Amino acid sequence: MPDRVTLFINGKPISVPVGSIVAAAVARSYPSCFHHSVHQETRSPLCGMGACFECCVTINGSPHRRSCLTLCEEGMEVLTGA
Amino acid sequence: MNPTFDIIIVGAGIVGAACAAECARAGLKVLVLDRGPVAGGTTGAGMGHIVVMDDSEAQFALTRYSRRLWHELRPDLPASAEYDQCGTLWVAADEQEMAEVRRKEKYYNQRGVRAEVLDARAVAAAEPNLRRNLAGGLRVVDDGVIYPPCAARYLIESAIAWKAQLRTGADVRALLREGGVVMADGSRFSAGIVVNAAGPWSPALIPGLPVRKRKGHLVITDRYPGQIHHQIIELGYLKSAHSVGTDSVAFNVQCRKTGQILIGSSRQYNEEGTEINHEILERMLQRAFEYMPGLAKLTVTRCWTGHRAATPDKLPLIGPVPDNEKIWLATGHEGLGITTSLATGKLLTDLLLERPTEISAEPYAPARLLQTNESAPEPCLTA
């Protein structure tokens, strides 16, 4: 079993250890923000445990997924800044 | 001694707010009291329908009149009120419901309300996320949605601009037969007339008032712009709204300006608490998924409950109570209070000032449901 997976964050490949959460992978790719609030403010993770919804990103075309609760998978496509 | 106020309105929901705005505009000295904040009860918990409904001629007359008043007010509404003239799409699941669609189309158009029949293909084109095997639908073109708390706040602010006073956190305990109210702390305000606009809580001030709490659940999703374009209601909603005694659910969705989708609806009597009933919530969502399967994939951010103020004949109570011309009612709007608030404010003010009303106020007169003596309001003063 491989010990690393490769996923794509805003189209750019990134390799992370198996078991990494998407929020960690996104943070390592230094995006300007994870998503925008209803008033178009930039937002990034706060609680890290699924309660604050500030870490939401689009995963495999599905918007508003909490990246802190999602494990990285091989070939996963993540978009930030929605 | 002259009373301090011409009129005291108990309840700062959208109905109380509309009454306050209209009375204050007419030059009356108005005080609005609410134990919570503005729009903290039914108004803040509900969807924001601006719809014409034809349950009865009287309901049609009131909703048509009030929808027109919303159209007239529209240029003055702040952006936060999120008024969106998205139209209502009533969806028909089968031929039986299509017969109802054709009846409604005729009824509405004969009375000057634009409505158009859509066949199955036109419904699919109008709302691609609805399931495919629907029979068709009815589009009521000039209906809309609004964000009720901000609409109520705007009406209260209009009233204040016309010199009305507002006190929130002001718990009214009793109405005085001689005109006025007693507060929880024992203090009193005197007024020529008191209007009970406390919605589902109005019977607490007038024991025996035929207004019952009818609980509803709502769910709101994260932002999915473009998922729906109209407010969409299943025709079965009418069966749900009419059923008495049994719990019922019906598919009803609305889109907020943010792209968030409100998913309803449920109706339950004898559920006084505000807690979520998971069994009916499940039924409500399953009903929604039947009509719009893609909803099941969306992220929900919150669900909550509220209570409608239901009367036995589905019409509100607007006007004085029998036997005491100092106590008036503006309550019992059930699921249509956002739509009918403005007409309620106009009718109440016209009746108060003995001006001609634009539509007959007779069908909404409290006397139709309140017996004299027996259920006449007694001031329930504590010792």
A39 neighbourhood in chain B, CB within 8 Å: none
At B353, the pLDDT band (50, 70, 90 cuts) reads very high
Residue predicted with more confidence, B242 or B344? B344
pLDDT digits (tens, 9 = 90+) for B1-58: 678 999 999 999 999 999 999 999 999 999 999 999 999 999 999 999 999 999 999 9
Q: In this predicted model, what pLDDT tens digit does every residue of B125-181 receive, in sequence order?
A: 999 999 999 999 999 999 999 999 999 999 999 999 999 999 999 999 999 999 999
Contact B274/B216 with Cβ under 8 angstroms?
A: no
CB hemisphere CA count around B128 (13 angstroms): 3
Residues 39-68 of B with CB under 8 A from A: none
Give chain B's mean pLDDT: 94
At residue B61's C-alpha, the angle toward residues B56 and B62, to 5°, is: 100
ω into B243 cis (within 30 of 0): no
Q: pLDDT-derived band of residue B237, with 50, 70 and 90 as boundaries?
A: confident
Is-contact B249 B265, C-beta < 8 A? yes
Give the separation between CA B63 and CA B49, rounded to whole angstroms. Answer: 11
C-beta atoms of A65 and B299 within 8 A: yes
CA distances from B306 to B16, B41, B207 (A): 17, 7, 22
Residues of A in contact with B301 (CB under 8 A): 53
Distance from CA of A39 to the nearest CA of B (A): 9
**How many pairs of residues across A and B have Cβ atoms under 8 Å apart?**
15
**CB < 8 Å to B299, chain A:** 63-65
Picking from A31, A8, A1, A20, the residue whose alpha carbon sits closest to that of residue A67 is A20
DSSP calls for A19-72? T-BHHHHHHHT--S-SEE-TTS-EE--SSSSSSS-TTEEEETTEEEEEGGG-B-
What are the chain B neighbours of A62 within 8 Å (beta carbons)? 297
User: B136: part of which helix (H) or strand (E)?
Assistant: strand B136-140
Quickly count: other Cβ atoms within 10 Å of residue B44's Cβ.
17
B301 touches chain A (CB under 8 A): yes
Cβ of residue B222 closer than 8 Å to a chain A Cβ? yes
For residue B374, what is the DSSP state?
A: T
The DSSP code for B381 is -
Q: What H or E segment, with its residue span, contains residue B96?
A: helix B95-110
- Asked, as a colleague might, if the bond just before B265 is cis with ω within 30 of 0, I would say yes
φ, ψ of residue B30 to 5 degrees: the values are -115, 140
Q: What is the pLDDT of residue B382?
A: 39
Choose among B224, B258, B297: nearest Cβ to A38. Answer: B258
pLDDT score for B223: 94
Residue B223 contacts A where some CB pair is shorter than 8 Å? yes
Nearest CA in chain B to A51: B301
CB B253 within 8 A of CB B229: no
Name which of B324, B253, B246 is nearest B280 in CA terms: B246
Per-residue pLDDT band for B242 (boundaries 50, 70, 90) equals: low
- Please report, as a single letter, which amino acid is at residue B146: I
Locate B69 and state its tokens.
């008043």
DSSP three-state, residue B259: coil
Closest CA to B147 of A40, A38, A18, A54: A38
Q: What is the pLDDT of residues B257-307, one digit of tens each?
A: 999 999 999 999 999 999 999 999 999 999 999 999 999 999 998 999 999
- Per this entry, what is the length of chain A? 82
Task: Answer whether B127's CB lies under 8 Å from B146's CB.
Answer: no
Residue A6 burial by Cβ neighbours in a 10 Å radius (0-12, 13-18, 19+): middle
Strands B248-255, B260-267: pairing kind: antiparallel
CA distance A13 to chain B (A): 27
Say what the pLDDT of residue B193 is: 97
Residue B302, min C-alpha distance to chain A (Å): 12
Share of chain B above pLDDT 70, in %: 95
Chain A residue numbers with beta carbons less than 8 Å from the beta carbon of B222 are 53, 56, 63-64
Question: Taking CB atoms and an 8 Å limit, are B222 and A56 in contact across chains?
Answer: yes
Q: What is each CA distance from B83 to B245, B251, B324, B339, B367, in whole angstroms?
A: 34, 22, 38, 12, 35
Q: How far is B222 from chain A (nearest CA, A)?
A: 7
Task: Check CB contact under 8 Å for A63 and B224.
Answer: yes
For B260, the closest chain A residue by CA position comes to: A38
The first and second tokens of residue B164, run together, are 């009305």
Residue range B229-247: mean pLDDT, rounded:
80
pLDDT of amino acid B381: 46
Taken in order of first residue, the domains within chain B and their CATH numbers are 5-46+148-210+314-368 (3.50.50.60), 85-143+212-310 (3.30.9.10)
| CB of B119 less than 8 A from some CB of A | no
Is B224 close to A62, i.e. CB distance below 8 A?
A: no
pLDDT in tens, B101-118: 999 999 999 999 999 999
Chain-centroid distance of CA B79 in Å reads 21
CATH class as words, domain A4-79: alpha beta
Please enumerate residues of A whose Cβ is less than 8 A from a Cβ of B: 38, 53, 56, 62-65
The confidence band for B376, taking pLDDT boundaries of 50, 70 and 90, is very low
Distance CA(B209)–CA(A18), nearest Å, equals: 65
Amino acid at B167: R
Q: Residue A2: its pLDDT value, please?
A: 84
Determine the angle formed by the axes of helices B337-352 and B148-161, rounding to 10 degrees: 20
Preferred mutation among B147, B258, B297, B299 to probe A, highest tally of A CBs within 10 A: B299
Phi-psi region of A77 (alpha: psi -120 to 50; beta: other; left: phi over 0): beta
Contact A53 B301 (CB under 8 A): yes
User: How many alpha carbons lie under 13 Å from residue B148 in its C-beta half-sphere?
Assistant: 29
Task: Provide the pLDDT for residue B375.
Answer: 45
Nearest to B11 by CA among B194, B271, B207: B194
Q: Is the pTM of this model over 0.95?
A: no
- Picking from A37, A64, A70 by the largest number of B CB atoms within 10 A of its own CB, the best residue to mutate is A64
Whether residues B223 and A62 touch (CB distance < 8 A) is answered with no
Rounded distance, CA B315 to CA B310, Å? 8
Mean pLDDT calculated for residue range B202-215 = 96
Q: Say yes or no: ipTM exceeds 0.85.
A: no
- Which residue numbers in chain A have pLDDT < 70? none
Whether A38 and B224 lie within 8 Å, measured CB to CB: no
Residue B383 has a pLDDT of 31
Residues of A in contact with B297 (CB under 8 A): 62
Residue B258 touches partner A, C-beta closer than 8 Å = yes
Q: How far apart are CA B175 and CA B64, in angstroms?
A: 33
Strands A4-9 and A77-79: parallel
